[in-house]
Amino acid sequence: MWSLAEIVRSCADTGLSFPETVMARDSERSGMDPRSIREIMDSRLVDMERSVKEALSGDPRGKFVGGDAALMGAYGAGHTPLSGTFAVEASRIALAVSTYNASMGRIVAAPTAGSCGILPGMLFGFGSAYPAPRERLVEALTVAGGIGQVIARRATLAGATGGCQAECGAAAAMGASALVFLQGGSPEAISHAAALTIKSIMGLVCDPVAGLVEIPCVKRNGSLVALGAICADMALAGIRSAIPPDEVIDAMRSVGHSLPESLRETGTGGIAATPTGIRMKEALL
Amino acid sequence: MRLIDVIGPVMIGPSSSHTAGAARLGGLARRIWGKPVSRVAIFLRGSFAATYKGHGTDLALVGGLAGMLPDDPRIRDSFREAKDAGICWEMKSETVDGAHPNSVRFLFSDDSGEEMEIIGSSIGGGAVVLTGIDGFSLKLSGELAAIVTFHRDEPGVVAAVGGALSKAGRNIASLNLHRQGRGGNAAMVIELDDRDIDGLEPLIKATHPAITRVLAIPGGGEN
Ligand code: SF4
């Protein structure tokens, strides 16, 4: 069964950690041996790190977006940010990588290309604040992947099916769980960090201007890292979702199904349908 | 969904369906055509036609046709490399009733007079499916190596092909039969666990007189 409750139970029964349990279950289902899964996850982290480096070293531009990461960097260097240095650094990385994606950069879809800045922002934002051994980060990425697998199975990871809650929302939930793991939280806390995040992005629509993965996608990457971080802190503080995590994911699925087509990646509703959004689209053609 | 598909693929942005999927479709069409691409007409359908410029769908399709994988940075400048490789292409849009929202039709041709039509769709997350070859409806993902047979619908074809594969020591991962009515034309798609498809084309062709044509298609070669 694809269920967070089962992963948590299995951790308790076997004494394995959350990422070990995710890895074992994935190996069982995919038929791949755990060594090669681990190797590929390791190479995904390498590719992710490379996307961060490439994104920050240039000044990537999309058709509409560009320059936000540099602004965030300058602000972070000159101020004590309200939302904390971790959140601002994670946001800077997320903005950079997701802008790099818009510029045809080479990224890791995690879980999708539109949300590809969120996990790098949270993982490498963490890594710069609290130096962690590389294996820990691979394990954290595995935790994130395990959460994503359950969301994929019980709901969806496609904006065209479930709205942006399924892309940027899911990425933030995956990242929240990864952060709880990195901070030594229990399997239960890991699963609740995801649930707390999903409850806050429930119903988030997919409404890209001109149908391009740029507006509002890049800024959602830059802000949802902070939502994920605060949900990780809530879970680490002992706060639990009153509704069990699996039920929260199921609710996200039915909300996704009730979104009209105009709010599922067609670029015809929400932000895309504002007068300015329509003007931008027309200027592009 | 496997762990490495949730965290992945590694790809050139900006869109898994419009960029990574397009590169995969180009690559799969090239593998089915089976020889260096010289002339190809590319017909964009649905949202491929509507948003190809902003998503680099055109660059990705041509990159795939030139042999680039979805994570190959050369996709950004694929037109130049494709021209250098001697590929001539033209890109058009077409409207087809009932077509998948993200789909494309390739029409290959070369100086020997050979032609081939291939239709495929990008179905989300970078995954693709081929839905037609030369007027035959079928389904092929291209992740694994595959054999496609075109044959008359007669008893014994499936058994003959299955037997030949088993004698050759190949394990079948999936088998799908697509026929256009009883006793009419049929196509069979067989996905193989083994990447090695050398020599399978003549072998399968000789197994049954009803088989008119066989394609042996290498697998995708990506993670
Ligand atoms: S708004 Fe739509 S296209 Fe943009 S990141 Fe969200 S789901 Fe993807």
Provide DSSP, A39-62: HHHHHHHHHHHHHHHHHHHS--B-
- Tens-place pLDDT, residues A230-269: 999 999 999 999 999 999 999 999 999 999 999 998 899 9
ipTM of predicted complex: 0.97
- Is B179 contained in some domain? yes
Query: How many domains, chain B?
Result: 2
**In this structure, is residue B44 part of a structural domain?**
yes
Q: Which residue in B56, B73, B124 is closest to A158 by CB distance? A: B124
Q: Provide the sign of the torsion angle of the four alpha carbons A85, A86, A88, A93, taken in this order.
A: positive
Tokens of B70: 């979805």
Which range (A204-208, A269-273, B48-52, B202-206) has the least confidence?
B48-52
A65: contact with B, CB 8 A cutoff = no
From B95, B111, B134, give the residue that closes a domain. B134
Of the pLDDT bands very low, low, confident and very high (cuts 50, 70, 90), residue B181 is confident
Domain extents in chain A: 4-284
Within 10 angstroms of residue A261's Cβ, the number of other Cβ atoms is: 10
Q: CA-based diameter of chain A, in Å?
A: 59
Q: Which of B3, B8, B73 has its CB closest to that of A106?
A: B73
Out of B134, B161, B184, a domain closes at B134
- For residue A145, the chain B residues in CB contact (below 8 A) are 3-4, 6-7
State chain B's mean pLDDT as an integer: 92
Q: Is the model's pLDDT at B175 over the cut of 60? A: yes
Task: Measure A114 CA to ligand 1 centroid, in angstroms.
Answer: 5
d(CA B14, CA B11): 9
The residues that bridge with B109 in the sheet, in sequence order, are B39, B115
Within this chain, do residues B199 and B111 fall inside the same structural domain, yes or no? no
Q: What is the pTM of this model?
A: 0.92
B114 Cβ partners below 8 Å, 6+ apart? Answer: B108
The whole-number pLDDT of residue A107 equals 98
Give, as one character, the DSSP assignment of residue A247.
Answer: H
Task: Establish whether the linkage from the previous residue to B202 is cis, with ω within 30° of 0.
Answer: no
Q: Which residues of A228-259 are buried (b: 16+ CB within 10 A; e: fewer)?
A: bbbbbbbbbeeeebeebbbebbebbbebbeeb
CA–CA dist A282, A276 (Å, integer): 10
Per-residue confidence (pLDDT) for residue B221, from 0 to 100 = 64
Nearest CA to ligand 1 atom 8: A114
pLDDT level of residue B100 (50, 70, 90 thresholds): confident
**What DSSP line would sit under A198-246, residue for residue?**
HHHHTT--B--GGG-S-TTHHHHHHHHHHHHHHHHHHHHTT---SS-HH
Protein residue closest via CA to atom 2 of ligand 1: A206
Q: Is the same domain home to B83 and B118?
A: yes
Domain carrying residue B200: 145-217
Distance A160 CA to ligand 1 centre (A): 9
Say which CATH number the domain at B106 has.
3.30.1330.90
Q: Is the peptide bond before A216 cis (omega within 30 degrees of 0)?
A: yes
Going by C-beta distance under 8 Å and a sequence separation of 6 or more, which residues neighbour residue A75?
Answer: A81, A88
Task: Quote the pLDDT of residue A110.
Answer: 97
Using alpha carbons, list the distances in angstroms from residue B18 to A54, A285, B41, B52: 22, 18, 18, 7
Chain B residue with minimal CA distance to A39?
A: B4
Distance A76 CA to ligand 1 centre (A): 26
Q: Which residue has the tokens 């088989």?
A: B211
Neighbour-count burial for A97-135, b at 16+ CB within 10 Å, e otherwise: bbbbbbbbbbbbbbbbbbbbbbbbbbbbbbbeeeeeeee
User: Which candidate, B11, B8, B53, B125, places its Cα nearest to that of A160?
Assistant: B125
- For residue A1, pLDDT beyond 70: no
Q: Whose CA is nearest to atom 6 of ligand 1?
A: A164
Kindly give the number of the ligand 1 atom that is closest to the alpha carbon of A214.
Answer: 4
Residue B223 has pLDDT above 60, yes or no: no
Residue type at A92?
Answer: R
Name chain A contacts of B68, Cβ cutoff 8 Å: none
Tokens of B65: 């046709």
Has residue B140 been placed in a domain? no
Pocket test for ligand 1, best of A101, A115, A262, A271 (most atoms within 8 A of CB): A115
Separation of A202 CA from ligand 1 center, angstroms? 14
- pLDDT, position B127: 87
Determine the distance from the C-alpha atom of residue A95 to the mean position of all C-alpha atoms in its chain, rounded to a whole number.
12
Residues B17 and B85 in one domain: yes
Report the C-alpha gap between A21 and A15 in whole angstroms.
9
- Using the Cβ of A36 and the Cβ atoms of chain B, whether some distance falls under 8 Å is answered with no
Torsion, CA A237, CA A241, CA A242, CA A247, rounded to 10: -160
Q: Is the Cβ–Cβ distance between A29 and A104 less than 8 Å?
A: no
What pLDDT, on the 0 to 100 scale, is given for residue B196? 83
**Tens digit of pLDDT for each residue in B106-155?**
999 999 999 999 999 998 888 899 999 999 899 998 888 999 999 999 99
pLDDT at B222: 60
With CB atoms and an 8 Å threshold, state whether B2 touches A29: yes
- The reply to whether residue A113 touches residue B7, judged by beta carbons under 8 angstroms, is no
pLDDT at B220: 76
Residues of B in contact with A111 (CB under 8 A): 6-7
Q: Are residues B9 and B83 in the same domain?
A: yes
> Where does a domain end: B134, B168, B197?
B134
Ligand 1, residues at Cβ distance < 6 Å: A 114-115, 159, 164, 167-168, 206-208, 213, 217, 220, 265
Mean pLDDT computed over A19-25:
97
Same structural domain, B81 and B156 = no
Look over chain A and give the mean of its residue pLDDT values, rounded to a whole number: 96
CATH no. for residue B185? Answer: 3.30.70.260
Cβ atoms of residues A162 and A252 within 8 Å: yes
User: Which of chain B's residues have a Cβ under 8 Å away from the Cβ of A39?
Assistant: none
- The pLDDT score that the predictor gives to residue A253 is 97
User: Using one digit for the tens of pLDDT, what is the confidence trace for B15-46?
Assistant: 999 999 999 999 999 999 988 999 999 999 98
Nearest CA in chain B to A218: B14
- Give yes or no: residues B154 and B122 share one domain: no
Q: Which amino acid is at A217?
A: C
Closest Cβ opposite residue B7 in set A41, A106, A153: A41
Rounded-to-integer distance, Cα B119 and Cα B138, Å: 10
As a whole number of angstroms, the distance between CA B13 and CA B15 comes to 5
Q: Report DSSP state, residue B2.
A: -
- Indicate whether B37 and B111 sit together in one domain: yes
**B127 and B162, same domain (yes or no):** no
Q: Specify the pLDDT at position A133.
A: 94
Residue B139 inside a domain? The answer is no
DSSP run (H or E) holding A134? helix A134-154
Q: Closest residue of B to A154, CA-based?
A: B1
